[in-house]
Amino acid sequence: MSASATETSPISAGIGQSPAFRKLLEEARLLAKIPRPILIRGERGTGKELLARYIHQESGLPKDTYVVVNCAAFQEDLFVAEMFGREKGAYTGAVDAQPGKLELAHNGALFLDEVANMSRSVQEKLLRVIEYQKFERLGGVRTIEVNVRIIAATNADLE
């Protein structure tokens, strides 16, 4: 790993210097340059979110377009509204249109923590965004295009 990557990285500053840790950071730095979705797997407390931030930092994407979503914190209906946004009148109380996390992360990265906690139907909706970078807001008919890199993390055994 280059000295500049180590010096500028908050993840490597004082956290670890072992060969295994350096190898992980080097692999993450290389992956950061490939504009594809990433899944980080590991047990609780192993630094998955820190690694995701490091990947975003090393990707060259704007630093202020990194949006974090804790998938375990929302029930399904609320999660859909948070992710995809809503149009005015989409449901009772929706008095105005609101962008979702996907729109807020446009030209940047969206970190989905505990992605295995999403329902299957939400996973299917999100798959369309990953494949086509398009979606509709809740209650909307207009297709919205985004350029979003998805970085997801889980401690679940997905197999």
- pLDDT for position 90: 80
Task: Assess if residue 42 is contained within a domain.
Answer: yes
Statement: residue 93 has pLDDT above 70: yes
Which CATH number is 93's domain given? 3.40.50.300
Tokens standing for residue 140: 């909307």
Q: Give the CA-trace dihedral at 59, 63, 64, 69, to 10 degrees.
A: 50
Tokens standing for residue 11: 């993840």
Task: Assess if residue 77 is contained within a domain.
Answer: yes
Confidence of residue 10 (pLDDT cuts 50, 70, 90): low
Task: Assess if residue 135 is contained within a domain.
Answer: yes
Q: In what order do the strands lie in the sheet with 66-70?
A: 38-41, 148-154, 108-113, 66-70
Taking residues 21-29, report their average pLDDT: 92
Taking residues 101-117, report their average pLDDT: 95
Task: Assess if residue 124 is contained within a domain.
Answer: yes
Taking residues 79-94, report their average pLDDT: 88
Taking residues 91-104, report their average pLDDT: 90
- pLDDT for position 50: 93
Q: Helix 76-84 and helix 120-132: axis angle, to 10°?
A: 10
Burial of 74 (0-12, 13-18, 19+ CB in 10 A): middle
Confidence of residue 17 (pLDDT cuts 50, 70, 90): confident
What domain count does the chain have? 1
Task: Assess if residue 159 is contained within a domain.
Answer: no
Statement: residue 88 has pLDDT above 50: yes
Domain that residue 61 falls in: 3-154
The reply to whether the predicted model has a pTM over 0.75 is yes
Task: Assess if residue 56 is contained within a domain.
Answer: yes
Range from 16-20, 57-61, 108-112 carrying the lowest mean pLDDT: 16-20
Taking residues 9-34, report their average pLDDT: 81
% of the chain residues with pLDDT over 70: 90
pLDDT averaged over the chain? 87
- pLDDT for position 32: 95
